[in-house]
Each structure stands twice: as structure tokens, then as C-alpha cells.
Structure 1
Amino acid sequence: MTLHVGLTGGIGSGKSTVSARLAELGAVVVDYDLLAREAVEPGTPGLAAIRERFGDTVVAADGSLDRPALGAVVFADEAARRDLEAITHPAIRDLAAARVAAAPDDAVVVHDHPLLVEMGMAAACDVVVVVDLPPELQVRRLVEQRGMAEDDARARLAAQTSRERRLEAADEVLDNQGSREDLLAAVDALWARLTSDR
């Protein structure tokens, strides 16, 4: 029987590191950030709907989505963000369903989703894993590792659900205040727990 694992964490939490390690260990990872990109590739209905709602300024010269331009609009305007989500979320759900359907019956399917809690998807998972660290450390890592301006990093964090709400949904919490090696060791231990009776 398929085991559905929800994996989430705020921006800069280390969720991508956890996801990559789970894939190495044998999980079937459904990466919702990648699906979000697929849903708005040139020629898709998703990109056409975004252009219709937000105008030509959010489409680059090569016909692809201009993510920074769109981000500047939606992160500053709650209604605009909701409009974008109404366009992209159904397309992403359809792509995810196809990935899950293609997985082996006995797979550990990891739903790597930054909005797992916000979108109410946690309830559909057998286990919810949250990669966690204090917000100030998230901001510092976003500034140091991704080159974000501090104000931008704080705005991105503010646009996501609260740390408390995410932790309330968690069955497993991976603390990422330490080194990368510490986090990978925690993932390996998690994998052992998830697969112990399979």
C-alpha cells in the first residue's frame, strides 16, 4: 500500500535538502514547486490565464513567465495572490495526481509542498513532516545563501502560514538549526521509521 508523506517547511527551511535525500533513499517525490513551473510553461492554459489576468508585463520576451515581475505583483497584493492561486492550483493538482497514479503500489510517495498546510493537504497524508527552524535563522539563511534582501526575505516569510500552524499539523519535525550533515542524519532516521514495517 502506498504511504503518503507530506513534506513542508517555510522558505529557507531546508525542505529541498530533505526532499532530495528522501529521493536518494527510494521515495517517489512529487515536487509541487516543479509542478507549479510545469503548469505555467509556454503554451499551457495556465500561462494564458495568467497573461489574461495580469497583463503582458508578467510574460518575458521569449514567451515564458517572468517570475520576478509576477512575484512583485502577488507578494504585495493578497487579492492578486488569490487570483494566481485560483489559476495555478487546479493545474498543479492534476499534474500531481498523474505522478501519484504512476508510482508503484508499495511506494513511499513524498508530497514536497511548501503550502501543504495552507491548502488543507495535510489531512490527506498518512504522515506530515515539517522541516523547522526559528524565523530569524530562516531570514539569515535567505540573505546569506540566496542573496535576498532582508526585507524581501521577511516579506516572503510573512506571506506563508505561521510556524505554529505548520507545527500543529506535524507528525514528525526535523529540526534544521544545525549543520547539513545533522539534517541528513535526521532524514535517514526518519526514513528508517517510515519503512520499518513495510
Structure 2
Amino acid sequence: MARPKKNILSPQIIAETALKLVDKGHDFTIPGIAAELGVNPSSLYHHVTGGRAEIIKLMRRALYEKIDLSGLTDPLLPWQDRLEQWVRSYRDSSALVPAALPLLVGAAVDDSLTLQIYEALFTILDQAGVGQEQQLAVAAMLDAIVIGSAIDAASPDPLWTATEELPRLTSLASPEAMTRRTQDGLTLAIRAAVAQIEAIAEAPRR
């Protein structure tokens, strides 16, 4: 394969290409990235010495680098508002390429950007009055909301094709309702999470 006339490779370009391939085929390979970019596979290792594992970390960064941490850490905003912003911003970034989520979930989180996102979350939970012994469970609950809603965002529209034999489903599955379904569901999940966190914070500590 001919060498490119100029250096078109960078970790960012490689990550974005991997995300593009995952969006189309739910996975990526290093030869596939190289073919997409028109370079030899060996050329990629000059920029991602850690191979596939490093590319997955770079994909995570490419998805989440636009999250505004300043709004999440503003102590003048109520913690409920910041928690909602945390969930929505994390979910919206995840929903850009939902097919990437199984790859990201299967890889340890050790990049500084994503760790800062979770640091912001635990600071919010501190200010909400949630004890440290409960914070990991709350984070897992919020992860489930984020990941579930992001994957659900890739559902076909309409999701259900009902018939007269299913009158309840037919009555609910109007085009207008189905268009709102994912966002309305996310809003309900956030409200439920806030209510649960408030209850945890108010409960007597053991």
C-alpha cells in the first residue's frame, strides 16, 4: 500500500476513524482503520503504541471531551441541577455512537478526562449529603441510566409495529408518543434518581 503524501495520522484521527467503523459495524480492527485511512497498519503503531486497548481509550476521550465540567462543578448551582446536567451531558455524548458502549464498558477507565467526569459526580454526591458508603452504588445506578438511555437512543423509529390484536400497545405507540419516548423516559429516570438520592441523604446513617 502506498505511503500517504503527507502525515495524516494522529491519535485523534485514529480514534475518530475507529468510532466511524464501530458506528457502521459495531467493532473495529487495526487493519480496518488502516484501510479506511489509506495507510499501512504498521503506521498506526507509531501513534497508538498500545494497539487496540489504547484506541478504545482514545475513543472514550473523543466521545466525552466536549463535556463542560465547569457547569458540573459550579457550587452556586443546586446539586440537583448539576446532577441532571451530568446525566444528560454524559448520556448525550454516549449516544453519539451507542455501538461503542460495549467496548468502552469492557475497558478499565484510566484516562484523566473520564476520571474527572466521575470526580465531578462524587463531588456532587458529597454536596447532596450522600455518604461515601453509598456513593459507588449511586454511581452504578446513574451509569445504568446513562448507558441504557444512550443505547435506547439508537432504537428504530417506530420501535413497535403493533396490530389490532394488541390494543394497549397500539393506543400507546402513536408516532408523536414514540418520538418523545426516549427523552421522556430519560427525564423520568433522572427525577427518580434525584428522589432516591434525596432519600438516601436524609436517611439516618448506620
Shorter-chain TM range is under 0.3
Give TM-score, length-normalised by structure 1.
0.24
Higher percent of residues as helix = 2
**Structure with max Cα Rg:** 2
Higher percent of residues as strand = 1
